[in-house]
Chains A and B, each alone.
Chain A
Amino acid sequence: QLQLQESGPGLVKPSETLSLTCTVSGGSISSSSYYWGWIRQPPGKGLEWIGSIYYSGTTYYNPSLKSRVTISVDASKNQFSLKLSSVTAADTAVYYCARLARIVDYFDYWGQGTLVTVSS
């Protein structure tokens, strides 16, 4: 059974860079059938797609976040990562990693999510 697990600091200071890693187990991140994505949810609000990456390193970003987001993949560790720079309180959210099935473009497996709070 595929599992995804987010990890990283739960507290980040304003103007700094948020960094999270998603570790994939029970399957290979190098599968040609899937992308790997990040989604976030501010407290009490809806879900927002941040971006996705293919195992080859090809990335796709939400245009509204593109200037601050970097997603990378480390196939040797079966992990992919998110960096969000210049964070503000508006970036406080639960961050989820997920697998995105190619061709039919849907998120079929999700991590449990991790809360990141931006505060001094």
Chain B
Amino acid sequence: QTVVTQEPSFSVSPGGTVTLTCGLSSGSVSSSYYPSWYQQTPGQAPRTLIYSTNTRSSGVPDRFSGSILGNKAALTITGAQADDESDYYCVLYMGSGISVFGGGTKLTVL
């Protein structure tokens, strides 16, 4: 079964830029996987950030951006703020109605 890979953890300084990635255990991620990104803080439901590789969901600040970098999907946060400290999950659409979540990245802002 295909595994969607994410960095388990990452840290960024306030005001800094960080890029989180979303890959496949076998193969490359392209826009045809419709990568989407979600932010989750403890005890809360996920919040949708990015869909279809690089489209920001309503109300999401433009310091969040999505792209394909090499063979992975990527979420870049520019000008990180303290309240960006969260877990971030990507989802890839595998076809035939099947979606797969990555394991998530715990982002620390310090």
Contact = CB atoms under 8 A, between A and B. Distances in A.
Interface residues of A, number: 25
A89 interface: no
Interface in A81-120: 96, 100-101, 104-108, 110-113
Given A63-B1, A108-B51, A108-B57, A48 B34 contact: no
Interface string A32-69: 00010101000000111100100000101011100000
Interface of B: 1, 34, 36, 38, 40, 45-48, 51-52, 55, 57, 87, 89, 91, 93, 96-104
Chain B interface helix/strand/loop/mixed: strand
A110 B89 CA distance: 14
A39 B51 CA distance: 17
Q: List the 5 closest pairs (A to B, CB-CB), nearest first.
A: A60-B97, A106-B51, A106-B36, A105-B93, A110-B45
Given A47-B89, A106-B36, A112 B101 contact: no
Given A52-B99, A60-B98, A104-B55, 12 more contacts: A37-B99, A39-B101, A46-B89, A46-B104, A47-B46, A48-B101, A49-B91, A49-B99, A49-B101, A100-B99, A106-B36, A107-B36
